[in-house]
Structure 1
């Protein structure tokens, strides 16, 4: 029997026509038979489906159960970026994110993220007029309030959050708000038993001291804490680094007529600079010792300032004090455009001392002070008044090159790896004035 094939045209058929067509096809050997074809849908990428479902679960958990500060940041992500994010989230969160899992992430995480987002809005976008920045800042304060009312009120995490609030208000130059947060921080540490109670959490302790120092220097107010570990640092360095001899340094310093307390601070700083300038592979200073040096010397400089009447302080002492203060701040802070926190009082004190001038036998000291000031104000608009004065002094001293300048200022606190490059940049700016007329009355 010859087999024939019939093609059924199903286009344009109504329901009855389609039913008749199916009946015709199922006649003969196909009658009553169910055709089982492997579905192509079964071969889909199940792992991809699981990833999508996991991401959807994460998004649903975030949107419905709690609000995070990341909502605004992720709302504008493009679809192409979401694919990459899905892969990342699948690795980071292999299980469905629920409230129980999220409790592993403490509330301090959300507060810190809110603070970071507020900083981004403040300094990268709309400034203080940004409603988004104010929103995240209010979220941060609400989180802090909740923590202060809980059993974690005096925990390390809460202390660090308050320190972050102090720093943010300093950057915004909100003195009153920064002082309120700093008073609260001091009270929290007092309730914990004072600074000594934080010895087991040394990073928190040193951060609290640094926050205290920055606020005291920025607004010229009395610090809340006192910490001086230089005696221990001296003993440690003398036993660890055989080339360091603090006692011999004090007797060899060629700086006369300096008040004893300031002289001791100067000796400590010169020893530290010698350690960094003559650094050997085996002479490595750990991070905590580095921070202890900054904290101890900075507190000593602040204490010296509180002990003196600035109006009666000699120009020599004032030059050393403001110069050493700026040195310590360049020792720990960024300079120029990298520094978003302003210290206008220190800049004004520097200008006052330089305009008072020094005796002819103190030209090296004045040159060092001017160069430290130039590094401190590098790329700032206020540095324009200083460059002509440096050029005039260099002409009086017969200095024409940067190498000649280094010879005169290296006897004062100066770290080559830290100060040579910005100092050279500032000197080049001074040297560019050589073709311009100079007013010696500046």
Structure 2
């Protein structure tokens, strides 16, 4: 039956619209049973109760996609800017820790760190404090904003509560303290970082030691180990976390030494051979001669090599004997070489200041103003000077370093960059990391007319 709705002069009223909708839906709902509103609400309550009772306390409800991170349930509601900073920090630091030119892609989404963000409020706030500390990620200029202060104060309070509770040495508790140390690294709070590193050591000992933690959660254990090295380099104090039970899956064990250039350098220590092997592997991975490395194997090899190097280097006195001086000079240079594979949280190289000071002192003590060196020593000295200049020393602002470098280049009669590069590759050298800044330094010396170029 059709029924016409007469339109009043004022137009269709709300009551008329209800009548129209009623007629339209009457045919669609014919023969259908409509449950009572009360029954609908009861069904919803029962479903919610079932989901709540079966949901595990620490789990990711679904795969997290950063493109819809704003839809993911986090411990605290974030605005779009904070979400973007969090996203940027994770991918920025992932590329710094596991360079894609050497490593397989590290799936940050499936890592323990994203899980910690979702389920642990202390780690969530400390990570937000870190990501909010950068105004510009490319320039790496740390900045303390009101947002940073809010999150770091929340993180401190939550970490203190966690450490006084039953889960004081859980994975999430260790991760939260690690993130605090990273925050302190960024803001040059070395003394506080060392205090928290000491706390981490005690926590890890209660878990059975760093060796056991490596077996239980390798990705987590590598974080405090790397921070231990970074703080030792910054403060000049020995590392504290290493013990003799540290298992190392060295990717260097099966390396064929026939791939190395034939070197007859009696002044080269055996440790340098392992660093040479590692540099060759990285060059091969970058050129796709071999498959890309597992990210954790890459990190663990760096950690293992640096622990072997860094133990007593800062306490080693400068000797008066020339040969002893040469070995003392090679030691910090190898550390400087390896430091180029560590993430630098700022671009002012402040994290390497102690190493820089020791290396500068030993260079000047051993070779400043000296021409009484053999050709063999000159060939390794040019490598020492280039590595030092592009890693921890600011060559362009060190008036003594440039003439020394130019004099050594002249001593070896290196008249072109290709010749210099060939000479440098006789020693540990990573093309994509060391090549561009070294070439820039060569061009700078040529511009100052300190070296003769054909």
Task: Settle same-fold status: TM greater than 0.5.
Answer: yes
Whether the 8 Å contact between 2:128 and 2:148 is mirrored in structure 1 is no
1 CA distance for matches of 2:197 and 2:425?
38
Cα pair distance change 1:122/1:433, threshold 3 Å: closer
What's 1:300 paired with? 308
Whether the 8 Å contact between 2:177 and 2:200 is mirrored in structure 1 is yes
TM-score by length of 1: 0.67
What's 2:222 paired with? 206
Indicate the structure (1 or 2) with the bigger Cα radius of gyration: 1
The correspondence for 2:295, drawn from 287, 309, 321, is 287
Q: Tell me the secondary structure at the aligned position of residue 119 of structure 1.
A: coil
Q: Structure 2 unaligned segments of length 5 or more: list them.
A: 1-6, 26-69, 84-116
What's 2:35 paired with? none
Cα pair distance change 1:381/1:187, threshold 3 Å: farther
Q: Tell me the secondary structure at the aligned position of residue 448 of structure 2.
A: helix
Q: Tell me the secondary structure at the aligned position of residue 342 of structure 1.
A: helix
Aligned-pair distance for 1:420? 1.5
1:120 paired with 2:134, answer yes
Map Cα deviations across residues 383-442 of structure 1 (whole Å, 9 max, x no partner): 6653343223323433221111122222221122332222212222222111899xxxxx
The correspondence for 2:337, drawn from 327, 332, 337, is 327
TM-score by length of 2: 0.65
What's 2:177 paired with? 162
Q: Tell me the secondary structure at the aligned position of residue 317 of structure 2.
A: coil
What's 2:281 paired with? 275
Cα pair distance change 1:264/1:189, threshold 3 Å: same
Q: Bigger CA drift: 425-434 or 206-215?
A: 425-434
The structure where helix makes up a greater share of residues is: 1
Q: Structure 1 unaligned segments of length 5 or more: list them.
A: 1-6, 11-21, 23-32, 43-61, 76-102, 438-442
Cα pair distance change 1:68/1:317, threshold 3 Å: same
Whether the 8 Å contact between 1:121 and 1:130 is mirrored in structure 2 is no
2 CA distance for matches of 1:367 and 1:155?
49
What's 2:405 paired with? 390
Whether the 8 Å contact between 2:226 and 2:303 is mirrored in structure 1 is yes
What's 1:343 paired with? 352
Whether the 8 Å contact between 1:354 and 1:366 is mirrored in structure 2 is no
The correspondence for 1:318, drawn from 297, 319, 328, is 328
Aligned-pair distance for 1:110? 2.6
Q: Tell me the secondary structure at the aligned position of residue 331 of structure 1.
A: coil
Aligned-pair distance for 1:118? 4.3
What's 2:266 paired with? 256
Cα pair distance change 1:158/1:315, threshold 3 Å: same
Whether the 8 Å contact between 1:69 and 1:136 is mirrored in structure 2 is no
2 CA distance for matches of 1:181 and 1:8?
78
2 CA distance for matches of 1:224 and 1:380?
32
CA RMSD of aligned residues (A): 4.4
Cα pair distance change 1:166/1:382, threshold 3 Å: farther
Whether the 8 Å contact between 1:402 and 1:427 is mirrored in structure 2 is yes
What's 1:107 paired with? 121
